[in-house]
């Protein structure tokens, strides 16, 4: 029995757990993956205060070290459901835990193009994870935001050429845009959707745009956003598919809180996720006083 169970060990979840533990509230973190969330798939972080430049995985490790130094318990496992009885029962495939409060901080799953990419080799959603497989090859990145441009810059150090396929308009920060334009092996192509992926023996070899132009590529990295991941709970109010919360990070369900990329908000950044985790924890603390 815990006072609070935090589901998700990204920046939002770890922040919530840290604030809860320091407030003397019993807390357990549950995640099916290694701590860090999307940080583990980020090459360089340059806009998080205190670190002029740090690898995403290194920042995740710093955060988890902070968690361990505060003796916060961590459980590997995938949450299958949350059941309300007298308290909440958080069910995994082989065990379950009881708690009074739940913080959902499970982030987002990568969105797909819907062009049959599940049946084609050479498609990735993580440049840091898979970039080395394409050393000295030609690749494409799909997306117009910070994630797409960060991935392209990372790949530019490994690959012969990197195309950035921007489906509408570029939304990345000016600094990232300028750095991409300065790279001789990055080509930015705006204003056309990818209409077809062609493969040879199920291995990607060509991208065709809606205007008919074709590009030979050895790999394609998709960075077009994500879908909030909270299939394990029902009955929570949503906005545009994201969990709806108030300024205390409270959801429509009693004693259920949410923070990070799983909630509806304007800014999806590490710093906002960490802040929201702290707000959720402090809301739980004040609610118990």
- The three-class DSSP label of residue 207 is strand
Q: What percent of the chain lies above the pLDDT cut of 90?
A: 91
Q: What is the DSSP letter of 94?
A: S
Spatial contact of 245 and 266, defined as CB atoms under 8 Å apart: no
- For residues 17 and 26, give the distance between their C-alpha atoms in angstroms, rounded to a whole number: 9
- The three-class DSSP label of residue 228 is strand
Q: Smallest Cα–Cα separation from 248: which of 101, 114, 124? A: 101
- Which tokens belong to 251? 């959801």
Going 111 to 61 to 277 to 145, the CA torsion angle's sign is negative
Spatial contact of 194 and 142, defined as CB atoms under 8 Å apart: yes
- For residues 109 and 125, give the distance between their C-alpha atoms in angstroms, rounded to a whole number: 10
- For residues 79 and 57, give the distance between their C-alpha atoms in angstroms, rounded to a whole number: 24
Interval 34-80: pLDDT, tens: 999 989 988 888 899 999 999 999 999 999 999 999 999 999 999 99
Interval 72-91: pLDDT, tens: 999 999 999 999 988 999 99
Q: What's the residue count for the chain?
A: 289
Q: Where does residue 172 rank: exposed (0-12), middle (13-18), buried (19+ CB within 10 A)?
A: buried
Confidence bin at 289 (pLDDT 50/70/90): low
Helix (H) or strand (E) holding 204: strand 203-209
Q: Smallest Cα–Cα separation from 109: which of 202, 228, 2? A: 228
Confidence bin at 139 (pLDDT 50/70/90): very high
Residue 85: predicted pLDDT = 83
Q: Smallest Cα–Cα separation from 113: which of 76, 150, 167? A: 167
State how far Cα 15 lies from the chain centre. Answer: 15
- The three-class DSSP label of residue 227 is strand
Interval 164-213: pLDDT, tens: 999 888 999 999 999 999 999 999 999 889 999 999 989 999 999 999 99
- For residues 116 and 131, give the distance between their C-alpha atoms in angstroms, rounded to a whole number: 21
């Amino acid at each position: 029995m815990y006072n609070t169970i935090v589901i998700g060990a990204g920046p939002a979840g770890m922040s919530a757990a840290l604030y809860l533990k320091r407030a003397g509230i019993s807390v357990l973190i549950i995640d099916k993956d290694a701590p860090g969330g999307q940080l583990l798939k980020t090459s360089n972080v340059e806009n998080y205060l205190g670190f002029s430049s740090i690898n995403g995985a290194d920042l995740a490790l710093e955060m988890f070290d902070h968690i361990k130094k505060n003796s916060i318990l961590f459980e590997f496992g995938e949450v299958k459901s949350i059941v309300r009885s007298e308290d909440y029962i958080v069910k995994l495939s082989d065990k379950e835990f009881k708690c009074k409060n739940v913080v959902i901080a499970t982030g987002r799953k990568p969105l797909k193009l819907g062009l049959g990419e599940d049946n084609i080799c050479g498609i990735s959603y993580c440049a840091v994870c898979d970039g080395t497989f394409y050393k000295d090859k030609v690749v494409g990145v799909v997306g117009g935001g910070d994630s797409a441009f960060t991935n392209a810059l990372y790949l530019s150090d490994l690959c012969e050429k990197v195309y950035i396929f921007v489906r509408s308009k570029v939304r990345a920060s000016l600094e990232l845009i300028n750095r991409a334009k300065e790279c001789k092996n990055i080509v930015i192509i705006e204003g056309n959707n990818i209409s077809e992926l062609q493969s040879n023996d199920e291995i990607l070899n060509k991208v065709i745009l809606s205007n008919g132009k074709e590009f030979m590529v050895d790999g394609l990295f998709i960075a077009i956003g994500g879908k909030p991941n909270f299939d394990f709970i029902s009955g929570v109010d949503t906005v545009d598919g994201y969990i709806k919360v108030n300024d205390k990070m409270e959801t429509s369900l009693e004693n259920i809180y949410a923070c990070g990329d799983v909630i509806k908000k304007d800014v999806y950044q590490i710093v906002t996720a960490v802040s929201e985790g702290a707000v959720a924890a402090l809301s739980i603390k004040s609610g118990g006083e």
